[in-house]
Amino acid sequence: MQTVRPTTVSMFTKIPDMSFTIAFYVHHHGSGHLMRCLQIASALKGYRIIFMGTGLQHVDPSIEVIDLPSDLPEGNEQDDISSMLPDSFHYAPTGLKGIRDRTVIMTSVFQRSYPMLLIVDVSVEVTLLARLCGIPTIVMRQHGIRTDLPHLLAYQSAELLLAPFSDSLYRGAKDWAYKKTLFSGGFSRLDGLSGSGEERRGHVGILIGAGGTSIDIQLIEKIAVQAEGYTFHVLGCRAEHSSVANIHWHGKVENPLTILSDCGLLLGNTGHNTVMEVAALNKRFIGIPEERSFAEQEEKAAAIAERSGIRIIQPEDLAGQDWKNVFDELSAEQADWNGVIDEDALSNIAQAIIKTGTTLFNNQLLR
């Protein structure tokens, strides 16, 4: 991974015609933001691509990576709790060296890489910082109740809002922000890949993400014991001392397609990437919405809850389920993910990014 230090470059450096940098700010919580940005970047052929974020890993070597310091307190450091948080921000503590350092790095990148279009996935504060520096942004929209002032300020300041899902999954008012949004259709890392093509009766996949989950080892073992006629394949974690015979612990799997394609039913949280992967595979789904900021997973769960072959179970209701009955009932239904995945989604996004940047920077060059 390359770490780029701040440098000073003249703002009067000649700008090549029709050329601009496409940068991504990648939020560090979970793995979903990075996976999404990598897929979008892969569709932007011929452009200089920069990723900025904290702890970025497994990034294509053709992408320039700007490693940002953490914005959390380190060592004995404490933020100044006497400073009241302004209503215009979600996270803006005072007194943290990491925040000062990362801001210096980002603004230096803005300066030396201009003309630049910044795709923000996601951060209100980075969106507003970029705009104050004269850098146009495209802001990723996520599910959740995001009508608070910071989100509205970020959405207003952006050139375009980008929702990586279909309009059919949108929940909320069809207001100015809705009209400013490109709904690309859904996509996942499994698009275009093929598995065995045959489901194995009674096989269930359990997906464990990196952002925190109620689906722990104890719950998985309880489910497997109750539904002893089913075989369970757990991806994302491993139990070293489990004695339950009908569980296969696969741990982290680079290419889970072969395992998942064998399963007729998948169980996981209702984070964006998990839902899109299940939809891409057209599998029956048990979705467990975890508590996230702005009710993100709860809102996505509500957006899919009425479809055939899908059950939403709240975390507090997990212990009381008759799991064999849940699997039996769901196995009798056909999964309905109609209209969720769009094979042109990445192309739609790439075209919108390029059109936005070309329009902005051509207009500046012609002045």
**DSSP for 153-192, written as a single string:** HHHHH-SEEEESS-GGG--S--SHHHHTEEE--B--TTTT
* pLDDT-based confidence at residue 12 (cuts at 50, 70, 90): very low
**Same fold yes or no, 21-187+343-365 and 203-331:** yes
* pLDDT reported for residue 195: 61
* Model confidence pLDDT, tens digit, residues 193-224: 656 567 889 999 999 987 789 999 999 999 99
Helix (H) or strand (E) holding 311: strand 310-312
Q: Which is nearest to 303 in space by CA: 340, 258, 355, 330?
A: 340
Q: Which residues pair with 32 in a beta bridge?
A: none
Q: Verify cis geometry, omega within 30 degrees of 0, for the bond prior to 109.
A: no
Q: Are 236 and 266 in contact (CB under 8 A)?
A: no
Chain centroid offset of residue 50 CA: 18
Eight-state DSSP code of residue 119:
E
The backbone region for 216, taken as left when phi is positive above 0, alpha when psi lies in -120 to 50, beta otherwise, is beta
What pTM was computed for the model? 0.89
Phi then psi dihedrals of residue 100, to 5 deg: -60, -45
From CA 262, how far away is CA 201, in angstroms rounded?
9
**DSSP for 209-236, written as a single string:** -SS--S--HHHHHHHHHHTTTSEEEEES
The backbone region for 197, taken as left when phi is positive above 0, alpha when psi lies in -120 to 50, beta otherwise, is left
Q: Which is nearest to 337 in space by CA: 283, 289, 271?
A: 283
Q: Verify cis geometry, omega within 30 degrees of 0, for the bond prior to 115.
A: yes
Q: Which amino acid is at 149?
A: L
Q: How far is CA 133 from CA 104, 106, 114, 242, 343, in A?
A: 12, 10, 11, 54, 36
Domain ranges of the chain: 21-187+343-365, 203-331
From CA 126, how far away is CA 223, in angstroms rounded?
42
Span 92-117, average pLDDT? 96
* Model confidence pLDDT, tens digit, residues 166-198: 999 999 999 999 999 999 999 999 887 656 567
* Model confidence pLDDT, tens digit, residues 311-358: 999 999 999 999 999 999 999 999 999 999 999 999 999 999 999 999
More confident residue, 284 or 31: 284
From CA 78, how far away is CA 72, in angstroms rounded?
9
Q: Is the pLDDT of residue 79 over 80?
A: no
Q: Is the pLDDT of residue 8 over 70?
A: no
**Tokens of residue 234, six digits:** 């757990």
180: CB partners within 8 A, 6+ apart: 155, 158, 160, 161
From CA 367, how far away is CA 355, in angstroms rounded?
19
Phi then psi dihedrals of residue 176, to 5 deg: -60, -35
Q: Which residues pair with 247 in a beta bridge?
A: 232
Q: Which residues pair with 351 in a beta bridge?
A: none
Q: Assign a CATH topology to domain 203-331.
A: Rossmann fold (3.40.50)
Domain 21-187+343-365 has CATH 2.120.10.30: no
* pLDDT reported for residue 82: 53
From CA 346, how far away is CA 140, in angstroms rounded?
14
**Tokens of residue 296, six digits:** 């993100």
